[in-house]
Amino acid sequence: MTLADSGTLVEPRPLSSTVNKKALLAGVVGTVVVLDFVTKMWAMNTLTFGYPVPVLGEFFRLTYTHNPGAAFGLNIGEYSRVFFLVLSLIALVVLGLIYRSTPARDRLRLLAVALVSGGAIGNIIDRFRFEAGVVDFLDVGIGVHRWPIFNVADMAVSIGAVLLLISFYFEEKDGDEPEPAAG
């Protein structure tokens, strides 16, 4: 029996320009966390600690290391691991508040929050797992002029932070008032 045979008419729902906030958050955070975890496990199981493997000559190398500090080698000493773990947890709370106050139509901000959250969670997992700190392995630079070694989570945090700044800039420029949105 088909819908037409049952005598029930179903009106199609119009496509919406908004996104399902929870699905976007879960999808992006989940993808970042899984990709970060898998690539870190690959680096730990494949690369020799501290030994650079050229991929694109000396410009892009894979160099497995641990970072007890924050993204891109920021280190404040003996208690870096605990300090940045607590700071990351606080950041997740703030990101949660931003997420809750962001309307579903603001896809850029939702994507930004999801990227930063996924990256933060990826590095938090390492801070709990390894006393030595976060696993890093992506190494970019020329000769001795190198960017600090980083990972997928760091990329997600950096890209998300830039997108978040852009979204706040355009909100301020347009004079939009953030509207409350159900979480």
How many domains is the chain partitioned into structurally?
1
Q: Evaluate if residue 19 carries a pLDDT over 50.
A: yes
pLDDT at 15: 43
Could you report the per-residue pLDDT of 132-176, keeping only the tens digit for each? 889 999 999 998 999 999 999 999 999 999 999 999 998 877 655
CA-based nearest residue to 31, from 155, 179, 165, 164? 155
Tell me whether residue 176 is one of the annotated catalytic residues: no
Give the structural domain span for 106.
Answer: 21-174
Kindly state whether residue 12 falls inside one of the protein's structural domains: no
Catalytic position from the list 36, 106, 136, 139: 136
- More reliable by pLDDT, 73 or 91: 91
pLDDT at 182: 57
Kindly state whether residue 14 falls inside one of the protein's structural domains: no
Report long-range pairs for 75-79 (Cβ below 8 Å, ≥24 apart): none
Kindly state whether residue 126 falls inside one of the protein's structural domains: yes
Tell me whether residue 136 is one of the annotated catalytic residues: yes
Catalytic position from the list 36, 154, 174, 176: 154
Kindly state whether residue 10 falls inside one of the protein's structural domains: no
Kindly state whether residue 13 falls inside one of the protein's structural domains: no
- More reliable by pLDDT, 77 or 50: 50
Q: How many CA atoms lie within 13 A of 169 on its CB side?
A: 6
Kindly state whether residue 1 falls inside one of the protein's structural domains: no
| Per-residue 3-state assignment (H helix, E strand, C coil) for 95-120 | HHHHHHHCCCCCHHHHHHHHHHHHHH
Kindly state whether residue 77 falls inside one of the protein's structural domains: yes
pLDDT at 8: 61
- pTM of the entire predicted model: 0.81
Could you report the per-residue pLDDT of 58-90, keeping only the tens digit for each? 999 999 999 887 665 666 767 777 788 888 999
| For residues 80-102, average pLDDT | 90
Kindly state whether residue 7 falls inside one of the protein's structural domains: no
Q: Evaluate if residue 1 carries a pLDDT over 60.
A: no
